[in-house]
């Protein structure tokens, strides 16, 4: 089977590499010369565990190629997948489909024989039909079917998600198109992965609904965490208790500084916009978005309170800046709100992240970059966990305390044990757990002085 993947970003690159692992011939088309140079050298321009090995193996086998020439790849393809960006549009929060439609316009002259055009990008309801209309207008002579095949890949575990999916969702209204898509995913079906065929609109909406629901669980547990702190409950105990209910499940019930990344913020926003335009508002999801935006701001205030009411003149050591571990993605990361707020209030910020520096450096001007968690703790008055990288879980808190000038540890991911933190001589603040009175005393004293 010959596949043309338009776009070598996160979704396109991971999908292209995995399809080639099936044994299909995949040509990935991208216009970024620097990205193509890295890819043709067998190196992924994004950090994703296992991706470099997958690329190199299939390139050496001759099944995976990268080019900036769309024509030859599209003409030879049985399936053309659109995996271009659909960022949040400025002003109204809707998905920007300009890259999708530009790709459609460019590929139209090159369709030869029956070809299936697949939207792999996350697109609003009705986009597949709009693509079909545009292609019919540009190529009334062409034989093709347009399908929706949204991805459900988690950054940091995308290859495993592709190879062992909960489900493969295909929106298709054409029998020939369905037969081609069935063949495309046959290797997964043979492993008993459920391949679901639904209507195109259903597939498009299901992607947004899934991400909005997961975002809702995050905002929900963050609000419950705040309530736990007030009433003396422990959010981890509460989350564990409700997560045992199979109707709820234990995923995405971990409190923290709010969600970020390439999907949740823009997909929640796009779903809200779609609902409003169709006069069927999703008020619950609108509240999810508000809670998340406010959450990131509240975390900066939490750090300030733990420091005694002000961070002016203090040094804050920050562990992690990416929106989640095992990725270098900085899109809508909580750190992009927290760090500038701390700087505006007069703090010096020392930062460490195992993979995020390249992407984060231009986004976080003025921070001091460190090579380890202990280096970030050097001279710090406050140490803050923002991203739960595994490297930080094993941090020797006593050694960190010895490097610090102060004694405050603010754990926004509940990575550490309060007992171990106290044993190391640290005043410990977590999320969703009532602080010890001894930890609150300095902040209360500072407030009384004001």
Helices (H), 307-417: 335-344, 357-360, 373-377, 390-393, 397-403
416 annotated ligand binder: no
SS3 222: helix
Name the maximum alpha-carbon separation found in the chain. Answer: 79
253 annotated ligand binder: yes
324 annotated ligand binder: yes
38 annotated ligand binder: no
**263 catalytically annotated:** yes
260 annotated ligand binder: yes
Give the up-direction half-sphere exposure of residue 241: CA atoms within 13 A in the CB hemisphere.
7
251 annotated ligand binder: no
252 annotated ligand binder: yes
256 annotated ligand binder: yes
CA distance 341 to 388: 21
255 annotated ligand binder: yes
Write down the catalytic residue from 18, 147, 263, 370. Answer: 263
Extended strands (E) in 189-243: 195-198
345 annotated ligand binder: no
342 annotated ligand binder: no
122 annotated ligand binder: yes
Query: Per the annotation, where are the binding residues for NAD(+)?
Result: 30, 35, 86, 122, 155, 266, 331
Query: Per the annotation, where are the binding residues for substrate?
Result: 152-155, 207, 252-256, 260, 324
Residues marked active site are found at 263
Query: Per the annotation, where are the binding residues?
Result: 30, 35, 86, 122, 152-155, 207, 252-256, 260, 266, 324, 331
């Amino acid at each position: 089977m010959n596949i043309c993947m338009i776009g070598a970003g996160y979704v396109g690159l991971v999908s292209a590499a995995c399809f080639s692992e099936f044994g299909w011939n995949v040509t990935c088309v991208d216009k970024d010369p620097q990205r193509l140079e890295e890819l043709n050298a067998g190196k992924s321009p994004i950090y994703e565990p296992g991706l470099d090995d997958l690329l190199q193996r299939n390139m050496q086998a001759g099944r995976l190629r990268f080019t900036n020439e769309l024509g030859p790849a599209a003409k030879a393809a049985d399936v053309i997948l659109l995996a271009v960006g659909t960022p949040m549009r400025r002003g109204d929060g809707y998905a920007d489909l300009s890259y999708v439609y530009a790709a459609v316009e460019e590929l139209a002259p090159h369709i030869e024989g029956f070809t299936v055009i697949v939207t792999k990008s996350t697109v609003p309801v009705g986009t597949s039909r709009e693509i079909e209309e545009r292609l019919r207008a540009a190529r009334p002579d062409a034989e093709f079917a347009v399908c929706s095949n949204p991805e459900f890949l988690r950054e940091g575990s995308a290859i495993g998600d592709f190879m062992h999916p909960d489900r493969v969702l295909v929106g298709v209204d054409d029998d020939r198109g369905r037969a081609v898509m069935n063949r495309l995913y046959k290797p997964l079906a043979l492993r008993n992965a459920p391949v679901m065929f639904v209507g195109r609109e259903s597939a498009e909406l299901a992607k947004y609904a899934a991400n909005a629901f997961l975002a809702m669980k995050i905002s929900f547990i963050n609000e419950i965490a705040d309530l736990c702190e007030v009433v003396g409950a422990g959010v981890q105990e509460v989350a564990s208790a409700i997560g045992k209910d199979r109707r709820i499940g234990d995923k995405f019930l971990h409190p923290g500084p709010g969600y970020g990344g390439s999907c949740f913020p823009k997909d929640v926003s796009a779903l809200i916009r779609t609902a409003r335009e169709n006069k069927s508002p999703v008020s619950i999801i609108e509240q999810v978005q508000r809670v998340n935006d406010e959450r990131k701001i509240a975390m900066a205030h939490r750090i300030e309170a733990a420091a005694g009411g002000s961070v002016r003149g203090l040094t804050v050591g920050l562990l992690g800046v990416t929106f989640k571990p095992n990725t270098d993605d900085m899109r809508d990361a909580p750190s992009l709100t927290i760090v500038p707020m701390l700087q505006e209030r007069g703090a010096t910020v020392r930062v460490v992240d195992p993979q995020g520096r390249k992407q984060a450096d231009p986004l976080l001007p003025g921070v001091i970059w460190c090579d380890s968690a202990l280096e970030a703790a050097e001279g710090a008055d406050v140490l803050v966990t923002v991203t739960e990288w595994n490297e930080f879980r094993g941090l020797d808190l006593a050694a960190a305390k010895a490097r610090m000038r102060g004694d405050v540890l603010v754990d926004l991911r509940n990575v550490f044990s309060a007992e171990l933190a106290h044993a190391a001589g640290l005043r410990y603040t977590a999320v969703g757990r009532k602080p010890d009175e001894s930890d609150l005393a300095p902040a209360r004293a500072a407030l009384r002085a004001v």
